[in-house]
Amino acid sequence: MQNAYGVVDRRFEPLLRLCADQGIAWVPFFPLGSGFPGIPKATEQPEVVAAAERRGATPAQIGLAWLLGHSPVALIIAGTSSAAHLAENVAVGGIDLDPATTAELDAIWEARFASAGDPAPRWTD
């Protein structure tokens, strides 16, 4: 299954739970937000930045680590433009977030974005 999903966009949480119950892989697109105007970015959230600073990681790594820790069926196909960025993405597999950090990141969606409406990009003609 593929849908937009990440720490700042959890609209499809019920569908993710269904996939987990059925053992269906979940491959989110825009796991860190998007370059489209008006779509929030995980890497710009104060909680994500603070967690990255505490862990000596990048905000992108924290956003992806949250995703991998959130569901056993979550997979990541992270885009990259360099070998260094690829190494940064691979290192995410070694980042385990503690329960307090996970709870802090879990709260971002409800606190800031759940009531904001649909953050999906609007395609224009």
Dump pLDDT digits (tens) for 59-103: 999 999 999 999 999 998 877 788 888 898 899 999 999 999 999
Q: Is 70 helix (H, G, I), strand (E, B) or coil?
A: helix
Q: Is 33 helix (H, G, I), strand (E, B) or coil?
A: strand
C-alpha of 59 from chain center: 10
When pLDDT is cut at 50, 70 and 90, the band that residue 120 belongs to is low
When pLDDT is cut at 50, 70 and 90, the band that residue 119 belongs to is low
Q: Which amino acid is at 105?
A: L
Nearest Cα residue to 103 out of 3, 7, 27, 15: 7
Residues 19 and 23: their CA atoms lie apart, in Å, by 6
Supply the pTM of this predicted model. Answer: 0.89
pLDDT reading at 10 higher than 60: yes
Residues 75 and 71: their CA atoms lie apart, in Å, by 9
Structure tokens at 122: 């609007």
How many CB atoms neighbour CB 47 within 10 A? 20
pLDDT tens string 15-39: 999 999 999 999 998 899 877 777 8
